[in-house]
Amino acid sequence: EDQVTQSPEALRLQEGESSSLNCSYTVSGLRGLFWYRQDPGKGPEFLFTLYSAGEEKEKERLKATLTKKESFLHITAPKPEDSATYLCAVQAGLIGNQFYFGTGTSLTVIP
């Protein structure tokens, strides 16, 4: 069965304290891995797409990496405005672009 697991469930960081979020997956026919940010009461907002092992993408204080079995979202010197839930999703399947989501990591950055 296709699965996406994110860890930790929750993470509290001091402002400026770097860390990483993990997304491990077991799917057949991976077509892409996606990271989203979700603020309370809003829909998920797209951050990155990774398509192949070894690929890296960066945006401001965020950097996403991909291996054959997992992805990491590295947060460098986070600020309070980085507080949100970060969702990982994988795209698989032969028909359509079905996305399978993890349960997310809730990040809180304390000033």
Partner 1 sequence: NAGVTQTPKFRVLKTGQSMTLLCAQDMNHEYMYWYRQDPGMGLRLIHYSVGEGTTAKGEVPDGYNVSRLKKQNFLLGLESAAPSQTSVYFCASSSRRTVNTEAFFGQGTRLTVV
What residues make contact with partner 1 under the rule CB under 8 A?
31-32, 34, 36, 41-46, 49, 51, 87, 89, 91, 95-104
Q: Are 82 and 45 in contact (CB under 8 A)?
A: no
3-state helix, strand, coil in the chain (%, to 5): 5, 60, 40
**36 or 71, CB closer to partner 1?**
36
Q: Which is nearer to partner 1, 1 or 111 (CB)?
A: 1
Measure the CA–CA gap between 43 and 24, rounded to whole angstroms. Answer: 23
Q: Which residues in 59-86 are b (16+ Cβ under 10 Å) and which e? A: eeebbbbbeeebbbbebeebeeebbbbb
We find the least distance from the C-beta atom of residue 56 to partner 1, in angstroms, to be 17
Q: State the minimum distance, in angstroms, from the CB of residue 54 to partner 1.
A: 17
Is the CB of 18 or the CB of 52 nearer to partner 1? 52
| CB 17 to partner 1: min, Å | 26
